[in-house]
Amino acid sequence: MSNRDIQPFQFACPNCEEVISFTIGTQEGDITGAIDILDFKGPFNGENPFVELHLDFPVSFGAYEQVTTFMRIIHEIGDEAFRDLNLRLTLLNNLYSKKRDLQRLITQYKRGDIDAFEQACNKLDGVTLESHKKQDVLAALYTTTSNISSPFTIYEQNKEMSREMPEILRWLHSHHQEKTNEFFNKVIDNDFIKTLHHDCLSLYPKMIELELPFRPTFYQDYAEVDDTSKTPARISTADFDACCNFYKDLAEVYARQMTLVAGLNNLIKRGDYDLFDDSVRLNKKQEKIKAFESIDSYANMDLGRKAGAIDDSFFRFNESAIDNKIRNGIAHYKYTYKESSQLITFYPAREGMERNTYHELYFSEFMRKSLLLFRDVHNLNHMIKAVLYFNIFILKNDV
pLDDT in tens, 161-185: 889 999 999 999 999 999 999 999 9
22 pLDDT above the threshold of 80: yes
Task: Decide: 63 and 46 in contact? Cβ < 8 Å.
Answer: yes
What pLDDT score does 278 carry?
Answer: 96
Task: Decide: 19 and 339 in contact? Cβ < 8 Å.
Answer: yes
What pLDDT score does 80 carry?
Answer: 95
Identify the band that residue 116 occupies on the pLDDT scale cut at 50, 70 and 90.
very high
* Residue 223 CA, distance from chain mean position: 20
User: What is the rounded average pLDDT of the residues 186-194?
Assistant: 98
Task: Decide: 249 and 24 in contact? Cβ < 8 Å.
Answer: no
- The CA distance from 384 to 19, in Å, is 42
Instruction: Name residue 90's amino acid.
Output: T
User: What is the rounded average pLDDT of the residues 222-242?
Assistant: 71
pLDDT tens, residue by residue, 264-286: 999 999 999 999 999 999 999 99
Helices (H), 98-191: 99-111, 114-122, 134-149, 155-175, 177-189
228 pLDDT above the threshold of 60: no
Q: Closest by alpha carbon to 20, among 56, 48, 58?
A: 48
Q: Closest by alpha carbon to 164, among 380, 392, 393, 396?
A: 380
